[in-house]
Each structure stands twice: as C-alpha cells, then as structure tokens.
Chain A
Amino acid sequence: MGVFAWRNLLTRPLRTVLALIGLSVPILGVMGLFSVSNGLRDLVGETLSQIEGVMVIRENVPSPVFSTLPASLADDLRRLPGVRAVAPEVWGIAPNIEGRGMLVRGLLSKKGMESVFDQPVISGQDIEAHMNLNSAVFPRALKEKGEGRFLTLEDIGKPNIVISRKIARDFPDPQGNPRKLGDSLRIAETNYTIVGLYETGSLLLDVVIVMDIETARGVLNFAKDSISSIYVEAKNPGEYDALSATIEKANPGVDARSMNEVKANFGSLMGQVDKLLMMTVSLALIVGIVGIINTMLMSTTERFVEFGVLRTNGWSEANILTLVTLESAFLGLLAGIVGCVLALIGTTVANQFISGGVHLGVNPSLLGMGISLSVIMGTLGGLYPAWRAARLVPMEAIRIGSH
C-alpha cells in the first residue's frame, strides 16, 4: 500500500510540489531559528569553557561593562577563605577607535546582527594581580594561537595594548592591512602600541582590547577608587560554587558568578528563548498543517470514485484511512527532507559570512526533529481528509464522483 500511496503523490506532481513548498518553508523556518539558537548556545558554551574563575560584579547588572565596585573590595575578597588569587578589572565599551565612534562602527559594518556582538570593549587589568592567575583567558589565548607578548609589569602606566587578530583585521592600517605587532591603534585621542595579538575563537571574547588598569581608567573616565569587576580564583577548582556563595554572603550587593552558574543561567535563558521560538514556530506549523489539509481535501474530493472503487473491491474504511494518511505522511516526509536540505545549505552559506565564533548549528538531532515534526504535521494534516474519504458510503462515493 505504501508504494500505491507514493505513486498517488507522483500522479499529481504540481500539487505535490506546491504542497511541499507550503510545508517545507515552515520546517525551514524551524530549522533556521533553532540553528541560530544552537549557534548562540555553542558560542556561549565555548566562551564559558575558557573561563574558570568567579566573576564578581555589582548585583543586578548584566555584565562587567555596566558594573561599578569600590576598589577596596579586592582586599576584602583576598581575606576570604578558599581564595587563591584576586584580579581587579575595569571594563568599558571602547570610545572611538581610529576616529570611528561606536555608532559609526555599527553603521559602517556590513555584518548585520554580528555588529551587535563585535563592538570593541576595553579591559583594564591590574597587571600584577593578573600575573598571579592560573586561568587567565587572554594570556593563554595569546600563547596558544597568538603572537607577541602579554602585558607585564613594565607595561604599567604605558599605552601598550594586546588586541585580538579580529580587531587587528577590523581596524586595518591606512594601507588596508591588518594591524601588526608594533603598530599603533588610536583610541580616543591617544595612540596605543600593539604588543600582543591573541585569538580565542569566540566572538564574545575576541572583541577585548587589554591594557593596564590605570591606562584604562584614563580612557574610560573611571574613578581611581573604582573598578568594574574582580576575577577570583579558588584554591580548589572544585569549590567555585561554594566560593561564590561565600563572597555573596560576605559582601551584600555584589554578584559572584561562577561559570557553572553563568552556564545554568544562560541555559535557562536559552530555554525561555526556545519556548518563544516554539510559539512562533507553532504558528508557522499550524499554517503548514492547514495547507496539508487543504491539499489533501482537494486530492480526496477529486478521487471519490477511486475510493468508491477501492471499497467495492473490499477495501475497508481503515484501508482508505491508511492510504490517505500515508500519502500525507509521505508528503510530510518529503517536505521535512526538503526543509532540512535547504536549512543545511542555508546555514552552510550563512556560516561563510559569519565570523568570530558564531556557527549556525544544524546537528543530526535537529535534522531528526525537523523531519519528525514534518512527518507529524503531514500525518495530522491528512487525518481529517482521510477520515472524510474513508467514511464515504461506496455507492455515494461512486455516485458523487461520477457527477
């Protein structure tokens, strides 16, 4: 019967193709949205996996860029049990670079959504304190994939910076070549010498310009007794969650985020995003199901005589129901495959134009979900027309169909 159902679809190729388009577009939408969601999940997961310690910032702010803490807090944290190292930092969105302010950078960018993520950010680091860290991200990234050197004590108070290769490319020299070691980069009104180039591979990290904390205070107009955040390492890497709790208990008004907590929060956030996506997608799917119902209704109405003839030859109502439902399920399967292939092609093409770590992900489980969803939609959409065709009295079917 499966072969017969399949042939019935091929008998009306134009209608089948139109129905396929109608159903595969919502599937493509589902795959596209979830590939973006997966891409963000992977990006953040990859970024967080590079960070080990606890980030201490002011309570109720989303990131260190918006946080202000008293500089004296660093000494308070050093005295807490279980703390191995404490590294104060100043963070802020970079003012104009090479004469291009944030707004101009956004407008000139041809990267669309990506430009939201890749605004350069200044990280002013207490160099001496950071040299004591075991898990500092940027020195490791420079050592593994970069070139030049990271900031040392001799860079304190000097206009020396470490930037990512991405920033070097995004702000090329007057000849259009990426900035090299020894080149200067003008931030606000000051030229800074590039002493190191790092590469983390993460869009969220490769936007950071690292400099001495005092130098950063000057660029970002930060008060001398203020900092944005403090990076804290535990003596025992397995105790970060406990250390976070200790810090928050000892210092009301601060938020100590272990990376586990950040991951959990992000996971929860993405869960909410997925729900929102599902709601949006559900609307598209309903439209798809209505399309299938319409197609199958037209198809079954045209074939009343055929169903009547099949009934006269002993086919039961269940046989007719199965035949029509199989046809719509096959339609769903085809649409699922088409939608998934289009999604694979679309994300592959899109990934060529997105750099910095966002990788639209269409993994096998997402493909499986897309195809399953499409088959379910096809089957559901076919049930009513199938039921309608099956319950026809054979004599009526032949009589109606003959007229």
Chain B
Amino acid sequence: MIEVVNVWKSYRSGIRWVEALRGINCRIERGRFAFIVGPSGSGKSTLLYLLGALDRPSNGEILVNGQNLVTMSEAMQNLYRREQVGFIFQSFNLISNLSALENVLVPFLPRGITTDQRARAGELLKQVGLENRLDHHPYQLSGGEQQRVAIARALVKQPLLVLADEPTGELDSKTGDEIYKILRSMQHTYQATLVVVTHDRRFITPDDLVLEIQDGQVALESGAIADGSSSPNGLKAEGSAGFNGEDSPGRGVSLKAGE
C-alpha cells in the first residue's frame, strides 16, 4: 500500500523556484498497475521520484507499506531503493560500458555479485527474450531491447514496487506494445505494484488505477478499489477513465467529492 498525504515539493530551476507538487494526496493498493498521467510539467515525474525516495518532499508524508519515506534515514533510503524499488526510465539509462547481464546486476555491484543473483539476472533476461544478448553492450541493442534490459534490472531485486517514467517514450508503438506486455506479465508473475508515468493512454486497461495530475495536484483519480473509503484528497472515482484514449483529462470519469 502506498499513501501520499498532502505532499508538497518545490525545487530550484535556474534562478527560480518551481512548485512541482502542491499538496498532493493519493493511495495505491498493493499489486496494482497504476498510471500517473497529465500534461508536461504537471509534476508526474516528481511524484514518481518521491515514491522511489530519490528525493524528499518539502512537506507531507509518503508511506510505502507502512514505511515513512520522509523520515527515513539516508542509509534506509539506500536500502529501500536497493531492495524494494525498481526503476525504469524513458531513456533506458543503461551503463554503456557494461553488458546486458552486468547492467541487470548493477544494484548488487557495490557488495559483490553472488551466483544466485547472476543466475536470477540471466533468468530475467531470458524471460524478456534476451537470452542471446547477455554479453551485448547497450550500443549493440535496439531501443526495445535496452528497455527490456532496464525492466530486468528493475525486477532483479524482486521489488515490491516498480516505478516507470515514460517507459515507451522513446520507442515506436509496436515496441511499446511489447514492453507493456512484458511489464504486465512481469507484474502478474512477481506481484509487484507498478506505477507508470505516461502521456500515452493506449496502454491503460479498465482494471488500472489512473491518477490525473494537473498543476501539482491530483485532478482526477479513477479505478480506485471501491472499499468504501475515500482517497486522501477526498476524491473517489467511478468506473475507469482515460484508457484507450488520448491525453484528455477527466474523459469518461465522474467524481464525487467526499463520497
């Protein structure tokens, strides 16, 4: 379970301060496939990075499985990132001088790689269809293949949470389809919570949770499990929204405050 409670985040960009998040609230149940959508600059990636403890909010609380990321020590945050969170980036962000297998093993490099970890990394690469590319370097792989390596890297630690920032943003639509198939298959296999930032709503299905961010706040939330409790911002969605459509806020969604 992820709970984001009244989170604010501002950062400096050049000479001005940007308020990326303005009191955001949301909740993502364990094992969900959640999408964060919204226009550019709305704060989607900032929220994603905060969920991964890549930065601390200026204000508010973020609870992941009961752990408060805001009050967590630096060492615990490192541990959290190493063991509980997997990241997938738009630009793949593989290390250029490491092979596919070594890239998957990057989380374990500082402490030394065990035989089990190596075997698991090989198995993951096999699952994403790269069993013949283990020794290839990023420049020898296509964009889709690089993203598959990144997915394997995110999953090698068997994380509770996988965070993906525009994972198909640099891929053609066919390859994007393949990547989402892999992500959904992996999520099913490993029972991880998956949170994806995207502009492309084609990949959203009716069962997914969708958080629409606008101006640093959750403008719409759809697909939340109707357990009688409202989301922290007091909004509750009916039905599922935005999938198979364009980036149009609120399409097909009705919101009832305080329900």
Type the 1/0 row for B83-119, where 1 means its CB is closer than 8 Å to any CB of A. 1010101010101111000000011011000000000
What is the bound-complex CA distance between A402 and B165, given in angstroms?
A: 13
What is the bound-complex CA distance between A305 and B54, given in angstroms?
A: 13
B91 to A313, Cβ gap below 8 A?
Answer: no
Most buried by B among A312, A322, A393, A398: A312
Report if A115 contacts B (CB, 8 A). Answer: no
* Size band of the interface chain B makes with A: 20 to 34
> For window 136-195 of chain B, which residues contact chain A by CB distance below 8 Å?
153, 157
Known: A4-B109, A310-B106, A317-B74. A393 touches B55 (CB 8 A): yes
**Cβ-neighbour of B79 out of A7, A314, A396 (below 8 A):** A314
B81 to A4, Cβ gap below 8 A?
Answer: no
B52 to A309, Cβ gap below 8 A?
Answer: no
Q: A264 — which chain B residues lie within 8 A by C-beta?
A: none
Report if A316 contacts B (CB, 8 A). Answer: yes
Q: B110 — which chain A residues lie within 8 A by C-beta?
A: 1, 315-316, 319, 322
**Cβ-neighbour of A7 out of B82, B91, B98 (below 8 A):** B98
A395 to B97, Cβ gap below 8 A?
Answer: no
Report if A298 contacts B (CB, 8 A). Answer: no
Known: A11-B96, A305-B93, A402-B91. A313 touches B81 (CB 8 A): yes
A313 to B54, Cβ gap below 8 A?
Answer: no
Report if B226 contacts A (CB, 8 A). Answer: no
Report if B203 contacts A (CB, 8 A). Answer: no
Q: B157 — which chain A residues lie within 8 A by C-beta?
A: 314
B81 to A306, Cβ gap below 8 A?
Answer: no
What is the bound-complex CA distance between A315 and B81, given in angstroms?
A: 8
Known: A1-B110, A305-B93. A314 touches B81 (CB 8 A): yes
Known: A11-B97, A315-B110. A396 touches B87 (CB 8 A): no
Known: A313-B107, A395-B49. A8 touches B79 (CB 8 A): no
**Cβ-neighbour of A311 out of B11, B81, B89, B91 (below 8 A):** B81
Report if A10 contacts B (CB, 8 A). Answer: yes
Type the 1/0 row for B45-60, where 1 means its CB is closer than 8 Å to any CB of A. 0100100101100000
Q: List 28 A-B contacts (CB under 8 A).
A: A1-B109, A4-B109, A7-B97, A8-B97, A11-B97, A306-B95, A308-B54, A308-B93, A309-B106, A312-B85, A313-B87, A313-B106, A313-B153, A314-B79, A314-B81, A314-B82, A314-B157, A315-B110, A316-B110, A319-B110, A393-B54, A394-B49, A394-B55, A395-B55, A396-B55, A398-B54, A398-B89, A402-B91
**Apart from A305-B91, A306-B93, 7 more pairs, CB < 8 Å:** A308-B54, A312-B54, A315-B78, A316-B75, A316-B78, A395-B55, A402-B91
